[in-house]
Amino acid sequence: AAALIRRQKLAPPPPEIPGFEIIGQLGRGGMGVVYKARQISADRTVALKMILAGTQASPEDLGRFYDEAAAVSQLRHPHFVQIHEVGQFEGRLFFVLEYVEGGTLADYIRQNAVPPRAAAQLMETLARAMHFAHERGIIHRDLKPANVLLHGRRAFLNVPAEADRQPTDWDFRQHMPKITDFGLAKLLDRGSGHTSSGDVLGTPSYMAPEQAQGKPYPISPTTDVYSLGAILYELLTGRPPFQGPSPMDTLFLVHTQEPEPPRRINKNVPAKLDAICLKCLKKSPGDRYQSADALAEDLRLFLEGQPIRARGRNRLQQEWISLRQRTGTLIFAILVAILAAIAGAGMTYQWQQNQQRARQIEAIRAERAAKELEVNWLRYDRAIAECERGYHGRGLTELAVLFTETDARADGQPLANLIRQNIAAWSQATPHLQTTTKAATAPEHRGTWTQWFTGGEVIARSSDEKVELIGANDGQIRFSSDGRLQTIQSVHRSAITHLSISPTNQWALSASSGDVVLWRLDPNGVICILPHPASVRSIKFNDDGRTFYSIDANGTRRVWQTPKEQVQKVNGAPPPRPSFYDAAEIDVSNDKKFRLVRSADGIVQLRSLGDDHARTLEVPPGTHFRSAVFSPDSMVIATAWSDGIRLWDGATARTIGPVIPLTNVESVYPEKDSGNFIARRGTQSWRIESSRPVEGDVKSYVQRITGMARNPDGTIRGLDFPTSHRDRLD
C-alpha cells in the first residue's frame, strides 16, 4: 500500500550552488533574492543574487536581470557595488556581487540626524558617481536611501584624515556609500528598460513625476537627478518629499503637489542648500539640473561658500504655489465625491453580474469534473490491461500517476482505493529496480543496454529494447523477445551476476561467480561454458557482435570469438594477480594495445593487452581517483584526481608536465576533433591545456560521472553513474 504525503507550505531552503556556501539571506525583492555566501574558490564573502522565478521567469524578468548584470559590470567605480561573475544553476540565473558590510542609508537616517553640511558632502559624492554611470548610458531609475549601502571601517583614497574632518562633516571612513540594485536600470545604448504603457516602476516617494505617469516617457539623467534630490530632502528633513497613506496617494502627490521647502521643516538648513534641493525636485525635467555633474558642482560651490546656480523661491512664488495647491485639493475632493457616487452604483451592478457569472462557472466546473472522472476510469482500465499483457512497468507507472491525480479529488476516493489495491497486487509480480551498477551505449548510437542489481536479480535489455533477460539468484535465466517471459535451460550453479546481449540480438552472455556461459537467444541455446579461476567482474560484446571479453576479480582480461558457434580464445589468461584483486577496467586505447584498470583500493594501472604487463600511475598518498581516459590517438592519458589533473604518456605511464590545479574534477574526456581534453566539475568545464572555461553551453550532470564509453573517433557516447541514471550525448 502506498501513502500520499501531502506537502506543507514551508519557506524554501537556500539553494545549493556548486562553489558557494550559503550563509544566510540578506534581502528579498519583487524579482530577486540576495544571499550572503562564501565563494569557496576565492575564499571570500560575497553577495549572491538570484532571480526568484527561476525557470518560470518571464522574458521581462530575465531581461531586467541581464540588464542589471550588464549595467553593474560597466561600473568599475568605488561608489558602486562591484560584480564578480554571472552564472546559471538548474535554470536559475545568478550573479556574484561584492559583499558590503554595514547597513543602508535608510537605516542610518532612521537612527541619526544628518547635519546639512554632511548631507551636502554625501550627495556630492553620490551625484558624481551617478554622473559616471550616466556617461556610460546607464540610468538607475530606483535611487533611494535603501539602495545606498554604507561600508564601514575601511581605508579609502581621497578621504580627509580624521584630524581634518569637522564634526558636521560626513564620516566617509565609517560610512563609505556604495550604490546598488540596478534591477530597473535603463541602458540607453540598447534601448532597453522594459517599461510599457501602464507600468509604474520604482519607489513612489523617490520617483520623478514623468516616471510615475504609468506610460512611456523619455529617459534622461534628469530622472536620477530628481531621485538624488529626494534623497537630499530626506537627509535634511528626516522624511521624503512626498509620502501618502498608500502608494497611489503618494503618486498623486508627486503629480499635483509642490514639496514643502526643507527650511520650513528644519530651520538649520541653509538657504542655498534648500534652493539646490528644490531645483532637483522640479516637476518639469527641463527645470532641473540637466546632469548629475551639474548638481555635484552646485553642491561643491555651496560647501566652499561660493555663489550657486540654483535660485530659491521668493515670497510671492511661495504664496502662489500654496494657493494653487489648496485649489487643487478642493477640486480633488469634489471629484472624489462624484466618483464615489458613480462607483457605488457601478459596484451594485457589478456584484449582480459576478453572482450570475459565479453560478455559470460552478456549473461548468461540475460538468468538467464529471468528464475528468470518466476519463480517469478509462485510464485505469487501460493501465490494468497493460499489466495483464505483461507490461508491468507501463501499467504501474500509469496507475501511480493516476493515483496522485485521483486521490486529491473529493469524488475520486472510490477509484483511488481501487488503484491502491491494484498497485499493491501487481507490484508483487514486478522486479523493483534499485541501483544502476552499469550503463553503456551500443554501436552507432542505437541505444543502451543496462544491468541492474534488484535484490537478487540482474536485468539486461538489448539496444533496440526488443530483447530482455532476467537472471535470478538461483542461477535461472528468463528470456523475452515478444513481451512474454520464457525460462532458459541454465547451467549456472549460483546466482547470476552479469548479463550481456550482442548488438545483433543473436548471442548472449551470462556470468555467475566463476563461470561465463555463451548461448544463442532461444530457450535451448547454450553453446559452451567458459570457466574462470576467479569471480567474474565484467562481460561485454564488442561492436562486431562476435567478439566479447571478460574481466575477473584478479584483473585478468580474456577475449573470445564466436564463429560458427565455436568459441576461440584470442588472448590467453596470464597468471593471476592476487595483489590487484577486484580490478575494474576504466578505458581501452583506440589502438587496442593498452587498457586502464583500477583496483578496489584506488590504485590505477596501465596494462598491455598483449602480455598484461602493468605500470602503476604513481600519485601522492591520500589522493583520490576520479576519472581517466585515453586520447583519440592513444598517445596521452588524462586522469582526474582529488588534487588536480595529470597527463601521462600512453605507453610508458610517465607523467607529462606538472599537476594542473583543477581540484575535485568529476570527469575527463577527449574534446571532439582536437587533441585537447575536457575536464568537468559541476556546471563548469575546462580545456586541459589552457585551464580556461570552455566557451558555449556545456551540459551538466547532477550526479558524479564515474566512467564513460566512447565512439571509435574518440567522442563520448555514454556515461556511467553511481545511481540509477543513464544518459546519451548524441
Interval 418-456: pLDDT, tens: 888 888 777 665 544 433 333 333 333 333 344 444 445
Give the whole-number percent of the chain exceeding pLDDT 90.
Answer: 25
Asked if residue 302 lies in contact with residue 311, where contact means CB atoms within 8 angstroms, the answer is no
The more confident residue out of 704 and 162 is 162
* Contact assessment for residue 160 and residue 210, using Cβ atoms and an 8 Å cutoff: no
Task: For residue 40, give the 3-state DSSP assignment.
Answer: coil
For residue 720, give the C-alpha cell. 556511467
Cα gap 36→21, rounded to integer Å = 9
Q: Is the pLDDT of residue 122 over 80?
A: yes
pLDDT in tens, 590-648: 888 888 888 766 788 898 887 778 888 888 888 888 888 888 888 899 999 888 899 99
In the predicted model, what is the mean pLDDT of residues 717-727?
Answer: 41
More confident residue, 463 or 580: 463
| Whether the predicted pLDDT of 99 surpasses 70 | yes
Contacts of 553 (CB under 8 A, 6+ apart): 534, 535, 536, 537, 581, 582, 583
pLDDT of residue 692: 40
In angstroms, the CA 695 to CA 726 distance is 26
Name the residue among 450, 541, 556 with its Cα closest to residue 503.
541
CA-angle at 47, arms to 89 and 134, nearest 5°: 100
CA distances from 225 to 126, 276, 280, 288 (A): 10, 11, 6, 8
**Burial class for 106, CB neighbours closer than 10 Å (0-12, 13-18, 19+):** middle
In this prediction, residue 472 carries a pLDDT of 79
**Whole-angstrom Cα distance, residue 380 to residue 398?**
8
Burial of 306 (0-12, 13-18, 19+ CB in 10 A): exposed
Nearest to 101 by CA among 173, 150, 145: 150
Q: How far apart are CA 299 and CA 305, in angstroms?
A: 10
Q: Please, is 205 exposed, middle or buried when counting C-beta atoms within 10 Å of its C-beta (0-12, 13-18, 19+)?
A: buried
Closest Cα to residue 36, out of 51, 21, 49, 47? 47
In which band, very low, low, confident or very high, does the pLDDT at 319 lie, cut at 50, 70 and 90? low
How do residues 66-80 score in pLDDT, each as one tens digit? 888 888 888 999 999
CA–CA separation, 551 and 560 (whole Å) = 12
Cα–Cα distance between 430 and 137 in angstroms, integer? 65
Count of C-beta atoms within a 10 Å radius of residue 58 = 10
User: Which of 46-50, 122-126, 432-436 shows the highest mean pLDDT?
Assistant: 122-126
Helices and strands in the chain, H and E counts:
11, 36
Share of residues in the chain with pLDDT > 70 (%): 76
Say how many C-beta atoms besides its own lie within 10 A of residue 41's C-beta: 8
Residue type, 230: A
Enclosing H/E stretch for 315: helix 315-388
CA 185 – CA 67 distance, rounded (Å): 7
Higher pLDDT, 214 or 477: 477
Q: What is the band of 197 on the pLDDT scale with cuts at 50, 70, 90?
A: very low
Report, at the CATH architecture level, how domain 435-582 is classified: 7 Propeller (2.130)
Q: Identify the CATH class of 583-730.
A: mainly beta
Q: Which residue has the higher pLDDT, 54 or 197?
A: 54
DSSP state of 384: H
**Dist. CA 603–CA 577, nearest whole Å:** 14
Q: What pLDDT was estimated at residue 108? A: 94
Residue 569: its pLDDT value, please? Answer: 54
- Residues 574, 556: contact at Cβ < 8 Å? yes
Q: Side chain identity at 535, as an amino acid letter?
A: S
Q: Are 127 and 295 in contact (CB under 8 A)?
A: yes
pTM for the model? 0.45
Query: What single letter denotes the amino acid at residue 342?
Result: I
What are the grid coordinates assigned to 122, written together?
554625501
Rounded to an integer, the average pLDDT of 317-321 is 52
Amino acid (1-letter code) at residue 381: D
Residue 46: pLDDT above 90?
yes
Cα 98 from Cα 81, distance rounded (Å): 6
What is the DSSP annotation of 573-602? PPPP-GGGTT-EEEEE-TTSSEEEEE-TTS
DSSP-based three-state secondary structure for 302? helix
Whether the pLDDT of residue 206 is over 50: the answer is: yes
The rounded distance, in Å, linking the Cα atoms of 606 and 653 is 7
Q: What is the pLDDT of residue 556?
A: 77
Predicted pLDDT at 164: 58
Domain spans of the chain, in order of start: 336-427, 435-582, 583-730
pLDDT at 24: 92
Mean pLDDT of 337-351: 86
Q: How confident is the model at residue 8 (pLDDT cuts 50, 70, 90)?
A: very low
Each residue of 503-557: pLDDT tens digit? 888 888 888 877 888 888 776 677 788 888 888 877 888 877 778 888 877 767 7
Q: Which amino acid is at 125?
A: T
Pairing mode of beta strands 44-51, 92-98? antiparallel
> Is 50 exceeded by the pLDDT of residue 3?
no
Geometric angle at alpha carbon 604, from 601 and 609, rounded to 5°: 125
Tell me, what DSSP letter sits at residue 729? Answer: -
Rounded to the nearest integer, the mean pLDDT of the chain is 77
Q: Are 98 and 44 in contact (CB under 8 A)?
A: no
**So what's the pLDDT on residue 327?**
64
- Paired residues of 499 in beta bridges: 510
Q: Which three cell numbers stand for residue 725?
A: 541514471
Q: Which amino acid is at 61?
A: D
DSSP class of 6: P
* Residue 440 CB partners (closer than 8 Å, separation 6+): 448, 449, 540, 709, 718, 720
End-to-end CA distance of the chain, in Å?
Answer: 40
Q: How far apart are CA 429 and CA 386, in angstroms?
A: 13
The length of the chain is: 730
Long-range contacts of 618-621 (CB under 8 A, 24+ apart): 619/646
pLDDT above 60 (res 191)? no
Residue 719 has pLDDT above 70, yes or no: no
Q: 27: Cβ–Cβ under 8 A, 6 or more apart, which residues?
A: 33, 34
CB neighbours (10 Å) of residue 239? 12
How many Cβ atoms are within 10 Å of 642's Cβ, its own excluded? 13
| H/E run at residue 519 | strand 515-520
Q: Which residue(s) pair with 509 in the sheet? A: 500, 518
Q: Is the pLDDT of residue 695 over 60?
A: no
Name the residue with cell 550573479: 95
DSSP label at residue 285: G
Per CATH, 435-582 and 583-730 having the same topology is answered yes
